Amino acid sequence: MASDLLRLTVLGSATPYASVDNPCSGYLVSSGGTRVWMDAGSGTLAQLQRHVRLDEVDAIWISHLHADHSADLLTAYYAALYADIQLAAPIPLYGPPGLADRLAHFLTNSPTRSPVESAFAVHELADGHQARVGALTLTSRAVAHGIPAFAVRIEAEGRSLVYSGDTAPCPNLTRLAEGCDVLLCEAESAQAPAEGEQVHHTPEDTGETAGGARVGRLIVTHVGRFLTPQQAVARASARFDGPVDYAAPGATFSIG
């Protein structure tokens, strides 16, 4: 059945702020009746509703707590508790350590802590964390971004998608992506820094990570403002022999 396919829908892929036609990082991953909102950057909740209501989402997975990947958790909180959404139970929310307190810090405006846990059942990620969400298996690995950050491998019925989150090239990402059908990998940096810590992929890095992991297909996302998507795809393609696409907002990819 087509509905049983593993699918990736791009809600947004802009960085570090939304453009007029592209929200920040956010994706809907689905298989059968299971739906996971993967990263919740600015503007992605609006686009999510083109495909599914918030109370129909089975889980939310957050790579790290920079705003362009997590800011719409704040509006999702208000939607879940104070609008037309009727939750049968708090939405499972997987994210870096300290996520619940971080949300409460932003949301609390009185001596009483905002009831974050009434909206979200928070599960803190750690290197090697695994979770089963409906038809999907999620395996998270810590990656190199200068703050707690994670990549994830999502599998269903023998098909596999790996999402880098934000990270410099690192062994954990390459190992996680080994042999996957699709690698969704960021290409933020126009060039690697001359000195200091690298915390993002260049397009060339993205191609090398895909080649090193022997993935079936590469989708370039989170392209920096000093690159065009066409440039990012061309530069990644120079280092990877397989098919390379761009995570255009609104695009849907069938996996496997």
Residue 195 has a pLDDT of 67
pLDDT (tens digit per residue) in 89-129? 999 999 999 999 999 999 999 999 999 999 999 999 999 99
**pLDDT confidence tier of residue 71, bands split at 50, 70 and 90:** very high
Residue 1 has a pLDDT of 46
Higher pLDDT, 197 or 49: 49
Mean pLDDT (the chain) is 95
- Whole-angstrom distance, CA of residue 243 vs CA of residue 256: 13
**pLDDT confidence tier of residue 5, bands split at 50, 70 and 90:** confident
**pLDDT confidence tier of residue 8, bands split at 50, 70 and 90:** very high
Task: Work out the average pLDDT over 139-147.
Answer: 97
